[in-house]
Amino acid sequence: MKSLTTVNDLRALRREWSKQGKVVGFVPTMGNLHDGHLQLVHAAKAKCDEVVVSIFVNPLQFGKNEDLDNYPRTLDADKAKLEAAGVAAVFLPSVAEMYPRGLEQQTFVQVPGISDILCGASRPGHFRGVATIVCKLFNMVAPDIAFFGEKDFQQLQVIRLMAKDLSMNLEIIGVPTEREASGLAMSSRNGYLTDAERELAPQLYKLISEMKASVLAGNNDYAALTEAFVGKINHAGFKTDYLAVKNATDLSDADAETESLVILVAAYLGTTRLIDNLYFSV
Ligand code: AMP
């Protein structure tokens, strides 16, 4: 596996692959890799001749009081996992390589509307940072197919809209959320949880699964249902940031007529913010 730190080296490798007619897959990450990330790699390996994974903790998508400085960095272990998974190249740019003119001067990509609700409302500027870095990485890697987790359901929608609006010449594939046996969605941020919080954490998935069951049983008063489950989630020991039933196709508000639904939740356990979602049809 090649470890590349500069855009020039990455482009040189990409040119070789283009000459050889290779289909190139791309998996962007912030590192601290777990089995969820590896599912994306496996999906990429299954569809592509060569797979590039980037590891870059993107300062542009973190708010002022967020966990940028403490974000877990486990580069050696990450590289070993990627090598074992058959990744051709890992791209490890510095902040200066990605933002040579500095963060303040950086041109942004902003996907309107969808970037301002749910996680975007709680984390102003987050999706602008995500769209900008993903756009830049797409321009560097020039992948044929890029892979994103459904764990970050709203992020996946933001990326899909960006690619469509900016006529990007690639396919975006969403990969199902990888969970622990308890149901807890795998996340690098799970490492922040204390032992006691880790015991509690799977309740979040259990409660949104209960909510889904209630919808499937015919409950379509989503306002009342959401209010009831915010109470349950808080009672279980979380502090709910948001809980919403949305139209899974565009994240508009769902009503009784909506067939394709997604339940999205963000909740704090102590200081750790966990997100999860479930999508389904009625
Ligand atoms: P991150 O390193 O958190 O930025 O995540 C990199 C990619 O991995 C994103 O596309 C995430 O949606 C995806 N991902 C993170 N956790 C999971 C999971 N539990 N299952 C599937 N994909 C995931």
Instruction: Give me the pLDDT at residue 253, please.
Output: 97
Reported confidence tier of residue 9, pLDDT bands at 50, 70, 90: very high
Ligand 1 centroid–CA 50 distance in Å is 20
Instruction: Give me the pLDDT at residue 64, please.
Output: 92
Binding site listing for (R)-pantoate: 61, 155
Reported confidence tier of residue 50, pLDDT bands at 50, 70, 90: very high
Mean pLDDT of all residues belonging to the chain: 98
Binding site listing for beta-alanine: 61
Cβ 29 under 6 angstroms from ligand 1: yes
Residue nearest to atom 22 of ligand 1 (CA): 149
Measured over the CA atoms of residue 54, residue 172, residue 38 and residue 1, the dihedral's sign is negative
Ligand 1 centroid–CA 31 distance in Å is 10
Cβ 43 under 6 angstroms from ligand 1: no
> What tens digit of pLDDT does each residue of 166-178 get?
999 999 999 999 9
> What tens digit of pLDDT does each residue of 116-155 get?
999 999 999 999 999 999 999 999 999 999 999 999 999 9
Instruction: Give me the pLDDT at residue 40, please.
Output: 98
* Atom number of ligand 1 nearest to Cα 30: 2
Range 218-235 average pLDDT: 98
Instruction: Give me the pLDDT at residue 198, please.
Output: 98
- Rounded percentage of the chain residues whose pLDDT exceeds 70: 100
Range 185-190 average pLDDT: 97
Answer yes or no: 37 catalytic. yes
55, 75 contact by CB (below 8 A)? yes
Superfamily grouping for domain 188-274: Pantoate-beta-alanine ligase, C-terminal domain (3.30.1300.10)
Ligand 1 centroid–CA 37 distance in Å is 5
> What tens digit of pLDDT does each residue of 67-102 get?
999 999 999 999 999 999 999 999 999 999 999 999
Instruction: Give me the pLDDT at residue 100, please.
Output: 97
For the chain, domain boundaries = 2-175, 188-274
CATH number of 2-175: 3.40.50.620
* The model's pTM: 0.98
Reported confidence tier of residue 32, pLDDT bands at 50, 70, 90: very high
Cβ 185 under 6 angstroms from ligand 1: yes
Cβ 132 under 6 angstroms from ligand 1: no
50, 25 contact by CB (below 8 A)? yes
Reported confidence tier of residue 57, pLDDT bands at 50, 70, 90: very high
The long-range contacts involving 216-223, CB below 8 angstroms and separated by at least 24 positions, are 216/280, 216/282, 220/255, 220/256, 220/282, 222/254, 222/255
Tell me the DSSP string of the chain: -EEE-SHHHHHHHHHHHHHTT--EEEEEE-SS--HHHHHHHHHHHHH-SEEEEEE---GGGS-TTSSTTTS---HHHHHHHHHHTT-SEEE---HHHH-TT-STT------TTGGGSTHHHHSTTHHHHHHHHHHHHHHHH--SEEEEEGGGHHHHHHHHHHHHHTT-SSEEEEEPPPB-TTSPBP-GGGGG--HHHHHHTTHHHHHHHHHHHHHHTT---HHHHHHHHHHHHHHTT-EEEEEEEEETTT-PBP-TT--EEEEEEEEEETTEEEEEEEEEE-
- Rounded percentage of the chain residues whose pLDDT exceeds 90: 100
Instruction: Give me the pLDDT at residue 158, please.
Output: 98
